[in-house]
Amino acid sequence: MSNSSEKEFNIVVNGKAKKVATKILSFEEVVKLAYPTPPAGDILFTVVFHNADQNPSDGTLVAGQTLTIRNGTRFDVKHTNRS
């Protein structure tokens, strides 16, 4: 019998399939999945999610927040320079 904490979740970040081992992801973890090497400069990130395992299942994740995911949760992570 396997431990539920060993389960992997298949998600999509910026159109690329990713596997994660936890059901709850933070804003910062999602940004790191999208940009393992962050862009240089004073950058702001926007994280939009779809098909999460919570209500609402679609929305925007902001710094400091966490999200309960499921297989198939999708993230669109964009970055812009602060001006």
The yes-or-no verdict on residue 56 having pLDDT over 50 is yes
Torsion of CA 47, 28, 82, 61, to 10 degrees: 30
What is the pTM assigned to this prediction?
A: 0.87
Task: Provide mean pLDDT across the span 10-35.
Answer: 97
CATH number at residue 75: 3.10.20
Domain boundaries, position 64: 4-81
Please name the residues in contact with 33: beta carbons below 8 A apart, sequence gap of 6 or more: 13, 18, 20, 75, 77
* For residue 73, pLDDT beyond 90: yes
Total number of domains constituting the chain: 1
Give the E-state strand segments of the chain in sequence order: 9-13, 16-20, 24-26, 43-50, 59-61, 66-68, 74-81
Q: Give percent above pLDDT 90 in the chain.
A: 80
